[in-house]
A and B are shown apart, each in its own frame.
Chain A
Amino acid sequence: MRKTVFHSITAFILTGLGILCSGILCSGILCSGIAIGQEKEPASDGVLIRAKHLYSNNGAYGEKGEVYISAGKIKIVGPSIDVPGPLTILEVDSLMPGIVDAYSSLGLSGGTSEVSREITPEFDTYSAIDWSSRDFAEAVDGGVTTVQVVPAAESVFSGLACIVKTAGNSGDRTVAASGNAVLAVCSDPTSRNRARSRPDGIYMRQPTNRMGVIWIIRSSLNRIRSGGTVAGADPMSTELLKEILNGKRQSLAISRTDFDIRSALDLGDEFGFKPIIYGGDEVYRIIEEFKKRDGKVVYTALARSATTSRGTEGTALRWNVPGKLIEANVPFCLAGESLLDQARFAHRFGLTAQEALAAITARPADILGISNRVGSIEAEKDADLVAFSGDPLQPTSRINWTMISGKIYGNDKSKQ
């Protein structure tokens, strides 16, 4: 006997996750013309997705395509694939890889930065993540499947970022715990410090200006380089700074103005490491130099520049900075809030559709060094996918569901 469509899909969804996905079933959007739950055995975890338009970042752009998924991984991708055995079939209009956000503070509970000390490189975002935070539900709803959680830049050596999936069993969600080291090469660390406050107040701190920020980085790294330790800091801080210096740990510099971006690269040259620039609002102003110095940038200003012309620290925002970066062949990605809309507007402002999608999937995966797992629809990568009702870059298209490691989250309950 053939199973009814309803049952096979229900079984799939129930095993597949459950919490938030009930909407999918009844939507009729996703499941229109669905599926042949094949008989014989109870459905295995094999899932075949048939997409009218596949955006794989790996050959297919908008063509018809099929993806076979098993055990949370993508197994086979092709225009028309032959899969043996029992499986669940899902038909979708458009399918793209899960979105990767390289710069977020998702789920970071109890404050995003240390404000009583300047040198806290050992502070670890991974230890402060609220895995059930609403942030993650919102991210999944927006098609974001992987995020790097970055501490705020209010102390100079702000701490360690980590990379996690936005949903799943808590144990399986970690992509990289205790990852990139964050340096604030910007004015943020001075924001709470006041030059003329009482000497016994916690605000009586250096730096109170940007010169001090650079000075703290330089003097700390100098001490470490000459075999010393960082004054007043934990021994672990010393170890972490050593790792930055000897290239064992990637650093990222939060810098937005052109001169801060330059300072970050200068510090890197001076001490022999290569920070990736996060923020990058004004990178277009020094694009030639940036390219010559092999800069990489995680560009976050697009969310604001669609409507404002000034960014944080008064930076001069422009719309088509991504286009400029592509033209100069500088490695970059888009990151930050409303990432799907950022890609849509990046396309509006000049990127080709393909480039715009890559800027929130394959490119961030490359920059984070996790492209072996995410960022494209390819065999042996994580089954992180987003299904749309139409062209992902059109504002009239909605997300039908988001899949993370083979499990479907259709948390838009209103679809019922």
Chain B
Amino acid sequence: MMNHFRTFRTGTILLLGLASTAAHLHADGLLAIQGARIIPIVGEPMAVGTILIRDGKIEAVGKDIVLPGEAKVIDATGKVVMPGFVDAHNAGAMTSANERNELVPFLSVVDSIDPVAPYFDECRRNGITTSAVVPGNSTLIGGQAAIVKTAGQYVNDMLLKREAGLKISLRPASGNRMSQLVKLRRELDKAKKAIEKEAKGEKPDVPTEVRKEGEEAAKPADKPEGGPEEPKEEGSPQRQPEGGNDAASQAAGLEALKKAIKGEQPVYIYCETGMDVTAAIQLISDYSLKPIFVLGPSCYKAADLLAKRNETVILDPGLVFWETNPRTREDKKIILPQLYLAAKVPFIFQTEGFGTRTSLGSSFFWFQAATAVKYGMSEKEALEAITLMPAKRIGIANLVGSIEVGKDADLVILSGEPLNISTWVEQTIVDGKVVYERSKDEKIKRLLAPVAE
């Protein structure tokens, strides 16, 4: 729905700007970046060019742009300007990635985003200007994702899109894939039934299946004949939803699932292994879901199935790893970009969350892109895979992902070529505002000039 988009907010700013003096502009009004090599992603790179930004939007890009006298100018001679990077799947902005309750479609990450989280600092420092905040991979139905810009004081300032996708994880939290799928289908069936009733003009069910403290989960009102048995929760007592067992939450959850089935909201499906991909494809077909595949390391075994779908998938952050065949004991190096390139599955990247112990580079988008280039991707494609492709994948390519007139002025000024080891983000610009400057980054200075403190 349109009112989920921040265009309205910038629209407001524009009106304000027209009605009052430039001093009231939040987005620095007019800003120009001059002298840099421009990699616009859409269209050919420009050896030297100018980008003119007005009220947070790109107004002009080109070689011979006459700048209005009042424009603030950033001299980026010798530098490289790209669109800001787009992170299509990350839980780093949330105070906690996963919910203890496993069925929480009614939750929204918007309530969990902390604008001052170190994650956003790191985003700006590393040129990420848009991030899809998605619940973690350990909750069956983990709630609804949101897309935010990485700069802002309050979450509402940052919000680009609410209800940006429902997160489903096929990795069983309890170790049993059968019950995992049964639970998931039960929830989806409820929503499907509700949609069918509405279509017939029947009155939608008031959510009667409200769970009460201490009770077994109520059975769906109209469970299909011969349907799967309710899975028994073994071992641990039934986990109670945290504030989710009230009618309102249940109704909201149902609504979210209905949107997913009607295709009004995509579904991020986390698959841990190749067999999860098969299950996911069945679910997608049974419930006509609009999927965004988030793939675990060994999903490459189902690359041919994914290829048939011709959708951009989100790869695991660990792009290269080793496996030992348990039967033959043969050691094998798995290079995900190479395998997916060969299978013709379009892909984008994730970065390793900080705090996770990793090999050095997989925490950085430029490094992930460089790794793909190392294994056969062209640099052009690799740069697209950290900007426009993720923007398209999460449905915001009309706003971000490339340097084009009319798009949000989300830009990153690099000290050199994007995939060079010695290149740093010099400045990051979100909605026409400079939100990061390396020359003022005390943390980087401290890290690069180590002294006892």
> What number of B residues sit within 8 Å (CB to CB) of A?
37
How many angstroms between the C-alpha atoms of A323 and B333 in the bound complex?
33
Task: List, in ascending order, chain B residues with CB within 8 A of A380's CB.
Answer: none
- B331 contacts A137, C-beta separation under 8 Å: yes
A218 CB-CB contact with B under 8 Å? no
C-alpha gap A412/B320 in the complex (Å): 11
The interface stretch among B11-19, B211-219, B415-423 is: B415-423
Is the beta-carbon distance between B360 and A320 smaller than 8 angstroms? no
Residues on A with C-beta less than 8 A from B419 are 394-396
Interface of A (DSSP majority class): helix
For A318-330 the 0/1 string (1 means CB < 8 A from B) is 1111011000000
A286 pairs with B452, CB closer than 8 A: yes
- Which residues of chain A come closer than 8 Å to B2, judged between CB atoms? none
Residues of B contacting A266 in the complex (Cβ-Cβ under 8 angstroms): none
- Beta-carbon contacts of B356-386 to A below 8 Å, as 1s and 0s? 1111110100010011011100010000000
The answer, among B352, B354, B356, B452, for a CB contact under 8 Å with A285, is: B452
Interchain CB contact under 8 A, A284 and B452: yes
Q: Which residues of B contact A347 (CB under 8 A)?
A: 421-422
Q: C-beta contact mask, A124-149 vs B, less than 8 Å → 1, else 0?
A: 00000000001001100100000000
Asked whether B331 lies within 8 Å of A397 as measured between CB atoms, the reply is: no
B374:A413 contact, CB within 8 angstroms: no
**Do B422 and A319 have beta carbons less than 8 Å apart?**
no
A62 interface residue (CB < 8 Å to B): no
Q: Are B421 and A414 in contact (CB under 8 A)?
A: no
Are A349 and B361 in contact, with the CB atoms below 8 A?
Answer: no
- Chain B residues contacting A397 (CB-CB under 8 Å) are 374
A345 within 8 A of B: yes
Q: Which of A312-357 contact B (CB under 8 A)?
A: 316, 318-321, 323-324, 337-338, 341-342, 344-345, 347-350
Which one of A10-18, A42-50, A299-307 is at the interface? A299-307
B276 to chain A, nearest CB (A): 24
Interface 9-mer from B20-28, B390-398, B403-411, B441-449: B441-449
Cross-interface CB contact of B450 among A321, A393, A413, cutoff 8 Å: A321
Bound-state CA distance A44–B352 (Å) is: 48
Interface of B is mostly: mixed
A330 to B453 Cα, complex, angstroms: 21
B residues less than 8 Å from A395 (CB atoms): 361, 367, 370-371, 374, 419, 421
Residues of B318-365 at the interface with A, using a CB-CB cut-off of 8 Å, are 322, 324, 331-333, 335, 338-339, 352, 354-361, 363
Q: What's the minimum C-beta distance from A257 to chain B, rounded to whole angstroms?
A: 12
Query: Is the CB of B451 closer than 8 A to any CB of chain A?
Result: yes
Given contacts A324-B450, A395-B367, A413-B332, contact A345 B374 (CB under 8 A): no
Given the contacts A350-B448, A393-B421, A396-B374, A345 and B332 also touching, CB distance less than 8 Å: no
Closest 9 CB pairs of A and B: A318-B450, A285-B452, A395-B370, A284-B450, A319-B447, A341-B360, A307-B363, A338-B359, A320-B448
28 inter-chain pairs at a CB distance below 8 angstroms, sorted by A residue, are A138-B322, A285-B450, A303-B360, A306-B363, A307-B352, A307-B358, A307-B363, A308-B354, A318-B448, A319-B447, A320-B447, A323-B448, A337-B359, A338-B359, A338-B360, A341-B359, A345-B360, A345-B361, A345-B421, A347-B422, A394-B419, A394-B420, A394-B421, A395-B361, A395-B367, A395-B370, A396-B374, A411-B333
